[in-house]
Structure 1
Amino acid sequence: MDPEIASLASTAGTTLVTLLTTESWQGIRDRLVSLWQRARPDRASAIADELDAAREELLGAQATGDPEAEVEVGAEWQGRIRRLLTAHPELATELDRVMSGCSPDSR
């Protein structure tokens, strides 16, 4: 596996988990769904639903003090993003731009 793709997927998964519990979550959701729409249009709607479910899971975990949920959700999305980039490496530059523009540090 390309180490750059693995690193980008790891960073993207971590950033995604952080942003899903903020007020700006809809923007990152829409941008990620757009990437899936380009690469796997048949999965884009399901990805949108799964991102919504991940947000609800994370918000529930925050309310109950379950820090493991964040780690698990992050790992799950890191894997999904890694698989997307492995199959469609042409999306790596765009994903990097999305994550750079949405990172918690850029707010």
Structure 2
Amino acid sequence: MEAELAVLAGTAGTTLVTLLTTEAWQRVSDGITSLWRRAEPERAEAISAELEVARTDLLAARETGDSGTGGELGAEWQGRIRRLLVAHPEEAEVLRALLDELRPALPDVPAVTQHATASGHARVYQAGRDQQIASS
């Protein structure tokens, strides 16, 4: 169950950060805040404020060409959401419904499929983005 919650939290963290700078950001903020309001009401307002800060940080990072902030924020929110789901697994269905609702707002990203076969002493190096190989 914990692995399933981690995957769900990963999807949620990525979706949240992807949509924070789009027209859907208010729906994302409302949905995530509502999730906390149901599970841990005493933290809901702080979560809402932290989402606003994350949005501001992400907008500023995009203006300066900082591509690392999005990944950092995604990992941060993935961890928060995972911990919430571990403490309150009953909220997983609510989160799934929110993600289903938000799916149409996500930008189209082409799928990448990689296949490789190595035999003998061969090596295969694959990357979905940048890859650096340094010899020692």
State the TM-score, normalized to the length of structure 1.
0.95
Cross-structure match for 1:83:
83
Q: Counterpart amino acid of 1:10? A: G
1:11 alignment partner in structure 2: 11
> Runs of 5+ in structure 1 lacking a partner?
none
Equivalent pairs counted in the alignment come to 106
Q: Deviations over 1:14-58 (max 9, x none)?
A: 000000010110011001101100111110000000000000000
- State the one-letter code of the partner of 1:51: L
Distance across 2 between alignment mates of 1:96 and 1:21: 21
Identify the structure with the greater helix proportion.
Answer: 1
Gaps of 5+ in 2: 109-136
Instruction: State the partner residue of 1:48.
Output: 48
Which residue pairs with 2:28 in the alignment?
28
In the TM superposition, structure 1's runs of 4+ consecutive aligned residues that sit over 6 Å from their partners are none
RMSD of the TM alignment (CA)? 1.3
Partner residue, 1:74: 74
Query: Could you say which structure has the greater relative contact order, defined with CA pairs below 8 angstroms and 6 or more residues apart?
Result: 1
Q: Secondary structure at the match of 1:43?
A: helix
Amino acid at match of 1:91: E
Give the number of the structure whose alpha-carbon radius of gyration is greater. Answer: 2
